[in-house]
Amino acid sequence: MSEYGNREKTLYLVVPCYNEEEGLQHAAAVMRDKLSRLVKEDKISPKSKIMFVNDGSKDDTWKIIVDLCKEDCVFSGLCLSRNCGHQSAILSGMLTAGKHADMVVTIDADLQQDIEALDGFIEAYQKGSEVVYGVRNDRNSDGFFKKMTATCFYKMMNLLGSNVMENHADYRLLSKTAITALEEYKEVNLFLRGLIPTMGFPSDIVYFDVKEREAGKSKYTFKKMVKLAADGITSMSTRPIQLITLLGFVVSVFSVIMIIISLVDWLSGHNIPGYTTSMVVTLMMGGLTIFSLGIVGEYVGKIYLETKSRPRYIIQSIIWIDAQTGEEGQESEDGE
């Protein structure tokens, strides 16, 4: 029996791809080599696969994925009908792979997340963990701005009640049990980093070093990071609304105090028309009102999207090669 235990060992690597034509073939070769070594060491089953998820790429990413699948049956491809976003692409891959795999690991196509950490993921899984989080050792590879915004992001998320593990992105392992449970979560506004910990399964952490991106540019722009932060806060916590209530109470108390002071000045005959005071109070109240409406509006918008129950993604096609017959298979599926 392998030193890694006797749990079922079919592994699927799920790799979300958006305009990754520059480095996809190199990434596929590195991943293929790593899976081959894991199979030889009897850490995973020979049935293990690498599943690329094409998230509506505008370049030749899907064409490259199809060619890879035809060259080697270890690869399979899943094509979404449009760009559904990173979180939906990951979810579609996990739920599809979970039908065939005993464990699924999500990893980015740029290989900045150290693929050698897979050994640690599998070991933790064999010891009984249903979820294994990949956490980066440090942020030394990031620039000052990226490091500062990332630090603020995690601190703000935890301050506002969203249970997010610091320095954990979307490099993680989920067992079939965890994926089956995740499938029961139907919300449209996805924030997997906060959602998965709420399932409560036994979990573990594997630390890894971040590598330099070998090809292409990061597709995770500042705008997308801000959107992810907003989705994370409003999807996982109602604390911003509670803070608005508290702030409204504080401002109300301040307003009452100002009214009392004004009345005392008027009764004592020292009341002088205060243009500055009036402007400050008016602008403060107006700003607070607009800000509060904006936050409440975010929650109303999320409710609106949820009530429509539109699919989180639509799978246009899935491609794989039968390992025994060598025949190509291709099919379409409904959205989730």
Pair 65, 98 in one domain: yes
Cβ atoms of 121 and 29 closer than 8 Å: no
Q: Answer whether residue 177 is part of any domain.
A: yes
- Residue 168 domain boundaries: 11-222+311-331
- Measured at the CA of 120, the angle between CA 12 and CA 162, to 5 degrees, comes to 80
Pair 33, 17 in one domain: yes
Question: Sign of the C-alpha dihedral, residues 10, 199, 85, 223?
Answer: negative
Instruction: Reduce the secondary structure of 39-58 to three states and give it as a string.
Output: HHCCCCCCCCEEEEEECCCC
Q: Answer whether residue 231 is part of any domain.
A: no
Pair 298, 215 in one domain: no
Pair 210, 304 in one domain: no
- pLDDT tens-digit map of 222-257: 666 666 666 666 666 666 777 777 777 777 677 667
Give every strand in the sheet of 168-175, ordered side by side: 203-208, 131-136, 168-175, 103-106, 11-17, 49-54, 75-80, 315-321, 328-331
Cβ atoms of 126 and 5 closer than 8 Å: yes
How far is Cα 54 from Cα 262, in angstroms, rounded to an integer? Answer: 65
Q: Answer whether residue 108 is part of any domain.
A: yes
Task: Provide the token pair at 107.
Answer: 């990893």
- What is the Cα gyration radius of the chain? 25
Per-residue pLDDT in tens (0 to 9) along the chain, 336 residues: 445 566 789 999 999 999 999 999 999 999 999 999 999 999 999 999 999 999 999 999 999 999 999 999 999 999 999 999 899 999 999 999 999 999 999 999 988 899 999 999 999 999 999 999 999 887 565 666 666 766 677 677 667 666 677 778 789 999 999 999 999 988 887 888 888 988 999 999 999 988 776 555 655 566 666 666 666 666 666 667 777 777 777 776 776 677 677 667 666 766 666 645 675 677 667 767 877 777 787 777 778 777 777 788 899 999 987 655 555 566 555 566
Pair 250, 182 in one domain: no
Q: Answer whether residue 217 is part of any domain.
A: yes
- pLDDT tens-digit map of 74-132: 999 999 999 998 999 999 999 999 999 999 999 999 888 999 999 999 999 999 999 99
Pair 82, 194 in one domain: yes
Indicate the pTM of the whole model.
0.74
Q: Answer whether residue 201 is part of any domain.
A: yes
Q: Answer whether residue 234 is part of any domain.
A: no
Pair 303, 214 in one domain: no
Say how many domains are in the chain: 2
Pair 288, 317 in one domain: no
Pair 30, 51 in one domain: yes
Pair 142, 208 in one domain: yes
Question: Parallel, antiparallel, or unpaired: how do β-strands 315-321 and 328-331 relate?
Answer: antiparallel
Q: Answer whether residue 91 is part of any domain.
A: yes
Pair 256, 327 in one domain: no
- Residue 32: give its domain's CATH number: 3.90.550.10
Q: Answer whether residue 291 is part of any domain.
A: yes
Pair 49, 110 in one domain: yes
